[in-house]
Each structure stands twice: as C-alpha cells, then as structure tokens.
Amino acid sequence: MTDGETKAYPFALVGFFVTDKDISEAFRQDVTPEELEQLQELLKKTIFTDDVEIAIAPFVVPPDQVNDALNQLADVIFSQEDKQ
C-alpha cells in the first residue's frame, strides 16, 4: 500500500456442496495443516496480486451467521498480530 499501513479485510468464497450424507460426514477429518497451507497458497496465487497475504479458516456457516463468522475470523487474525 502506498501509505505504508497494512490493513486486513475479510473475504469469503461462497460455494455449495450437494450430498445425501449427514453434514458431519461430508468433510474429511484427516486434512493436515500442510494441505490447508497448500490450499491457502493456491488461493493467494490464483485470486490475489503479489504482496497480499491471506489467512483461511474452512468451516460451514449457515447463511444467517456469515457476518458473525467473518468477525470471529478477524478476531483470530488480529489477536495473533497483537502477540507478534
């Protein structure tokens, strides 16, 4: 950024999945931190310009709770920045 101040903005990728399974059975339980990091890097390279950092937290959110979920993610990100 030109003013030298780093800012964080929430973003969301919205999609749907279709299954006849219970929601608790629809997601892999063995996803590793390395796999999540690979996904994060792919998203970063694919949809953002250079020198933009992102953080992801994959979870299912009912539509009426999206704003709360984004605020919780922002709290996690900013609380980690405060510790550094």
What is the per-residue pLDDT across 8-54, written as a single tens digit (0 to 9) for each?
A: 888 878 777 889 998 888 888 899 989 999 999 999 999 999 999 99
Measured between alpha carbons, how far is 20 from 26 in angstroms, rounded to an integer?
A: 9
Whether the CB-CB separation of 70 and 6 falls below 8 Å is answered with: no
Q: How much is the average pLDDT of 65-74?
A: 80
Q: Is 75 helix (H, G, I), strand (E, B) or coil?
A: helix
DSSP 4: S
Domain ranges of the chain: 29-83
- Regarding pTM above 0.75, the answer is no
